[in-house]
Amino acid sequence: MSGPHRKLINDPDQLIEDLIEGMVSAHPELLCVEGDTGRAIVARHGARKGKVGIVVGGGSGHEPAFAGFVGQGLADAAPLGNVFASPSPSQIVDAGLSADGGSGVLFLYGNYTGDVMNFGMAEEALEQHEIVARSFVVTDDIASAPPERIAERRGIAGGFFVFKAAGAAADRGATFEEVVTAATHANDATRTMGVALSACILPQAGRANFELPSGEMEIGMGIHGEPGIERIPAESADEVVRRLLSPILDELALKAGDKVAVLVNGLGSTTLMELYIIFRRVSATLSDLGVTVYRNWVGEYCTSLDMEGASISVMRLDEFLTPLLDHPCQTPALSVGNTPLPEVETQRPVRRRKVAAAGETALKGDLVKSGEITPDLFLKMMRTGASAIFEARDHLCALDGQIGDGDHGITMEIGWKAVLSQLDEVYENVTITDMCNRIADAFLEAVGASAGPLYASGFLNAGKSVSDRLNLDQGALVQWLSGMSEGIARRGGAVVGDKTMLDAWEPAAKAAAKAAETGASCQECLVAAARAANEGAELTRNMKSRKGRSQKLGVRSVGHVDPGAVSAALLIQSWSTAVSTNRL
């Protein structure tokens, strides 16, 4: 077996910081970094008084998207998340503050669970700064849902056109609602289909996140390295174009005399030769239909790290969209117009009030002190859980690669490393609720993705449920586990059977409650919880996913366990072990 694939990177834990430093230093006339998080890439000539702020964003690994579209005439800022993971709310808030010109800020991003949750939380946070913010999700991917469920579709490379239209409308002085209308019109007029010839390789893992044998290809994959909706024998370029373009033509109902814009997008390792060969057939097919290609772009605009493959995006043009497409812009990845853009008086953010994090609760004399699980033991449980996640990182990534983007182990590792950093600062007399608040902050700040807000909500809710206690007895432990499960369910909107981490958390909480009713000890309650969590995780194998990225796979998700449920079971098992060894 060959070793890990080599990449030209330094410390994997500093990957995004190195990327940002390199990108900004390569384009100093266009970009800068604003905010406390260091993750908001901002246009030097973007935000200005009276202009609607445009923020585009998502995870890294899609370069030049999303920060490559930051610049005059397009986006004002882009928060950059970890590889294939949404930015955190605080990173998004930094971008929103930098983009604000007093007329509201519009967030534009792909329709992914983690992005929806994190950008939604950022909207709420910006309200504390008296800034109106709203999200617009791109849904151009035909493969991810049928037309009757178009709102469930993913946003992939076609976001290029939606960002361009919204950015141009804002730059032309449109009102907030007019900018939303421009984004809506562009999204409705855009369709995309893609094909993958290889899996991508996550920098931290060094291995492909799923197996794609030579001579086969995936139809309809997303932009996060996840498998597509169908695997078929490899075809010629012309046949691939026919397969991808046919549903696009059907849905857009193109006819003779129509005008379109076309994007042939490479996914990271596809040569420009291949992309031009693809465009050749796209252009000829449209010409045969009497459809004019008004503008086209061929190259890499929204990649999936180093995946081999391509996508085709088509936007049907009209009198409303054509001027927006033609509107001048200057960004690292896209320049429209041949003359230098006029200098604008950029408005730098002045409202830098940091939104307060969850504070420490004062240790009060009336806290309930009965119970086996003390703050010291709880701290040991959390550290034991972190170690279990670190050991299982590659296994969790492999599980995720079968139905997702292959980064779940890395995401959880990032989260628990941040947790350990927070817990290293725990002071004397800290309570379990205090530690839960710190853990929640760590997940929310470090992770992004869906796991960030889900675990943050779980720990906050769990800590709140035992805020009257110093130590946890059996009943309080049950309250804490139930609080975790309920917080996760409330934030994610999932139920048991959706093939998510909740399929482990909810059975665990119920099993602990049942054990406590029989007089079981805390350790025995955790043993019962761990057993139920493992059984719940295994039951996800035969479920069809109804939430998250794997939802788009439909029946192809059957036969694989949910990695989030597996990591939840690992945590609960490790906590049971920590309590057991503490009693020896």
> What residues contact residue 409 under an 8 Å CB cut-off, 6+ apart?
205, 389, 392, 393, 394, 395, 396, 397, 398, 400, 563, 567
83: tokens are 């590889």
With DSSP H G I counted as helix, E B as strand and the rest as coil, what are the percentages for the chain, rounded to 5? Answer: 45, 15, 35
Active-site pick, 45, 224, 408, 560: 224
- Residues in a beta bridge with 230: 219
Tokens 């390295």 sit at which residue?
225
3-state secondary structure of 59: strand
Burial class (CB in 10 A: 0-12, 13-18, 19+), 50: exposed
Written in H, E and C, the secondary structure of 278-315 is HHHHHHHHHHHCCCEEEEEEEECCCCCCCECEEEEEEE
Is 224 annotated as catalytic?
yes
Contact 373, 383 (CB under 8 A): no
Written in H, E and C, the secondary structure of 320-380 is CHHHHHHCCEECCCCEECCCCCCCCCCCCCCCCCCCCCCCCCCCCCCCECCCCECHHHHHH
Query: What φ, ψ does residue 40 adopt, rounded to 5°?
Result: -100, 110
Residue type for position 13: D
- Where would I find the beta strands (DSSP E) of 176-244? 190-196, 216-219, 230-233
Neighbours of 318 (CB within 10 A): 11
> What residues contact residue 530 under an 8 Å CB cut-off, 6+ apart?
508, 569, 572, 573, 575, 576
Count CA atoms closer than 13 A to 280's CA, side-chain side: 9
72-86 core/surface letters (b: 16 or more CB in 10 A; e: else) = bbbbbbbbbbbbbbb
> What residues contact residue 115 under an 8 Å CB cut-off, 6+ apart?
57, 58, 86, 109, 137
Residues assigned a catalytic role: 224
